[in-house]
Amino acid sequence: MEKLYELKAHAPDKEQWVLDYPTHNYPMQVRLKQLAVLVKVFVAELAELSLRQSLEAVLAGDFISDRNLQPYMRILAYMYSVMLSKSVAESIDLGEIDNFLLSLILNSGL
């Protein structure tokens, strides 16, 4: 998000948010390429859109509400069960949660 806000500050005109513009501005090109990769990695469902459209969707936050939650249901269920099993005074063991998430990722391909 920080890189996206930097882009918005340096280039408020969204027409400039394309990989072939401006060719004379190397730092802008690097920033745009970095953002293109980050969108593909972290918001894969937006990868089919143009770079400008995907960055606008990230800024609007719509991709979060439109995201299919099915792949995350086991994680959400686990987090809910951990919250229910702990009293307010007890601290939640982050190592336990890390281990669960790591095993889930390794075993299910998330």
Q: Is the pLDDT of residue 109 over 60?
A: no
For residue range 13-43, list pLDDT tens digits in order: 888 888 876 667 888 888 899 999 888 888 8
Residue-wise burial string across 55-89, b where 16 or more C-beta atoms lie within 10 A, e elsewhere: bbbbeeeebeeeeeeeeeeebeeeeeeeeeeeeee
Answering whether pTM is above 0.95, one says no
For residue range 69-102, list pLDDT tens digits in order: 777 788 778 877 877 776 655 676 777 777 777 7
Q: Enter the tokens of residue 104.
A: 């889930």
Q: Is the pLDDT of residue 106 over 80?
A: no
Cα 45 to Cα 24, 27, 39, 83: the distances in Å are 31, 27, 9, 30
